[in-house]
Amino acid sequence: MMSRDIEEITNKEREIGKNALKTNITAALAVSESLKSTLGPRGMDKMLVTDGDIVITDSGSTILELMELVHPAAKMMAELGKTQGKEFGDGTTTSVIIAGELLKRALELVDMGIHQGIISSGYKTALSKSLEFLDSIAMELEQKDIDSIALTMLRGKITETDIRFVSTLANAAVNLVRGDKDRIYINYRTGGGIKNSNVFDGVYIDLGKRVHPSMPRKVKNARILLIDREFDLVKPKHTKLDINSVQSLNEVVEYKKKVMRAAVGVIARSGANVVLCSKNIAEEAMFFMAKAGILGVRDVEKKVMQHIAEATGARVLINVNEVLPDVLGYAGYVEESKIGNEEIMYIKKPRYPNRVASIFIRAGNETLALELVRKMKELVEVLCRVAYDKKILPGGGATELELAERLRIFSRRVPGKEQLAIKAFAEALEEIPKILAKNAGINPIDILAGIRRGHYAGFTNVGFNAVTRKVSDTVEHHIFDSYAVKRNAIISATEVASLIVRVDDVFMNKDSKVVMKQEPEPEPQQIVEPPITPQGKFDLKYALKGLR
């Protein structure tokens, strides 16, 4: 009755208690279940059709970006994955899967009569202990392990030889900029093979070409002027130009030539021999630049201009009258080249080495090129993180299973129902090696049993090798995960799962806006544990409206 009264007063539809929890968890599970088949080197790809464009990828970040979600819990799961990918480059799918498994087991515990607040508290306790255990499992990174991280991330996407080549490019770029991912510029061009890709200390302008054929193709000792505006006469807003004769037209043309000649003269006297403009360059200005031996390029992306400014020391101007020698950047040379049928402008040997690293990806077709760019960005993110904390973990689910085993032992010392939540947390972590095995076409129960035998015997590096489809020592086979990536994936997954678990009230406006009210967390109760039995089926299509 109370719920109906509130609905009448507020003009909102309302779900409370277990119904609200089930709705939210079902929506969240729809997202996590959709990503499970993409996990690991044997994972499958998804084909996403957006406005006629086709994207084929197994990247969790890309899939979540293209999903059109209608339920707030589903959106929270998607945001979890996208944030993980943006900040760490990898672990998107892992974080979403763990969050989904935590929610699935939370619903089972609620069905057994355990309060949502106790479940949330137990998850937080399990997270705290997991981070302690994770520190003890972590190993120091050695230089030879860099390729192994790339192999773990990219196996099954390209050949092992190409993976090592891509790893070399990514590692070179990371070393150039000393681990600052924001200073690494990645782009692509179709045509050629992966081995035609390259990395260098400098910047390139994709589709960059001279604006006049008489301009030099290559300028040595380049003094670079950056202009963030249209290089043309300022068009008056409130002035009407009345041209009623050939003579008046000629006067206007001559006036424009005079102004452009003067502007180019200012540039030439400053010592600039390369002009890069973010917008158009007037034809008259092109002519006078060519005559003065100045190389001009128009329509340069602002992001690229920022990279050029960073590397060459140039200042970006909006007024040509402010051109002085001290605003110019410097590079050993600027050169127009051609790849396939399109031009590209290279800026190499900049004034400040190691400020910007550029990776140029080559691939046989657009789909492969875009996927390689995505993988390269993810790899660069991970390598930058690894370069910072210099820690790695055993891969292949070995870390998750070791955490699960230690959490089970720890839970025996925790009184009351909270220990059930800790055991549920352990079960959620164990889903990672099971999914890796399932995606490789192997019975996950057999694989899980094999990994457990190894860990019971004290071999904490035992996990699933998806390449050989066998249980093996993952360190011996160079299967590693980034410590920072794994740590944040577990933290973020637990936080999102705990947040959703504690929602006991959903107010939904008629226009589908949703307000979620959280229930206060009670003190844990001292009650003997009952067994946890997996149960329940979930609608995987709920909350997924489609792909845009």
Is residue 98 within 8 Å of residue 524, measured between CB atoms?
no
Confidence (pLDDT) at 153: 80
SS3 392: strand
User: Whole-angstrom Cα distance, residue 318 to residue 315?
Assistant: 10
Count CB-CB contacts under 10 A for residue 244.
7
Question: What predicted TM-score, i.e. pTM, was given to this entire model?
Answer: 0.76
SS3 225: strand
Is residue 292 within 8 Å of residue 268, measured between CB atoms?
yes
Q: Domain extents for the chain?
A: 2-141+393-521+541-547, 185-389
CATH of 185-389, one of 3.40.50.2000, 3.40.50.261, 3.50.7.10, 3.20.20.150: 3.50.7.10
Question: Residue 308 to residues 219, 229, 305: CA-CA distances in angstroms?
Answer: 16, 16, 5
User: Whole-angstrom Cα distance, residue 200 to residue 160?
Assistant: 23
Angle subtended by helix axes 72-88 and 483-501, to nearest 10: 160
Confidence (pLDDT) at 520: 58
Give DSSP secondary structure letters for 414-477. S-STHHHHHHHHHHHHHHHHHHHHHHTTS-HHHHHHHHHHHHHTT-TTEEEETTTTEEEETTTT
Confidence (pLDDT) at 443: 95
Question: Residue 268 to residues 232, 259, 290, 317: CA-CA distances in angstroms?
Answer: 17, 14, 11, 16
Question: Residue 90 to residues 31, 184, 377, 393: CA-CA distances in angstroms?
Answer: 17, 17, 10, 14
Which are the contacts of 525, defined by CB distance < 8 A and separation ≥ 6? 115, 118, 416, 417
> Do the domains 2-141+393-521+541-547 and 185-389 sit in the same CATH topology, yes or no?
no
Is residue 463 within 8 Å of residue 451, measured between CB atoms?
yes
Is residue 439 within 8 Å of residue 42, measured between CB atoms?
yes
Tens digit of pLDDT per residue, the chain (548 long)?
444 544 444 445 667 678 889 999 999 999 999 999 999 989 999 988 877 788 888 889 999 998 888 889 999 999 999 999 888 888 999 999 999 999 999 999 999 999 999 999 999 999 999 999 999 999 998 877 777 888 778 877 778 888 889 989 999 999 999 888 889 999 998 888 899 999 999 999 988 899 999 999 999 999 999 999 999 887 666 566 666 766 666 777 788 899 999 999 999 999 999 999 999 999 999 999 999 999 999 999 999 999 999 999 999 998 887 788 999 999 999 999 988 788 999 999 999 999 999 999 998 888 888 889 988 998 998 888 888 888 999 999 999 999 999 999 999 999 889 999 999 999 999 999 999 999 999 999 999 999 999 999 999 999 999 989 999 999 999 899 999 999 999 999 999 999 999 988 777 665 554 545 555 555 544 333 333 333 333 333 333 333 22
**Which amino acid would we find at residue 217?**
R
CA 381, 385, 387 angle in degrees (round to 5)? 115
Confidence (pLDDT) at 241: 62
Q: Which secondary structure element, helix H or strand E, spans residue 273, and what is its range? A: none
Which are the contacts of 56, defined by CB distance < 8 A and separation ≥ 6? 45, 46, 47, 48, 367, 371
**CATH top-level class of 2-141+393-521+541-547:** mainly alpha
Give phi and psi for 209, each to the nearest 5. Answer: -145, 160
Token readout for 2 is 């109370």
CA 448, 454, 458 angle in degrees (round to 5)? 135
* 8-state DSSP, 412: T
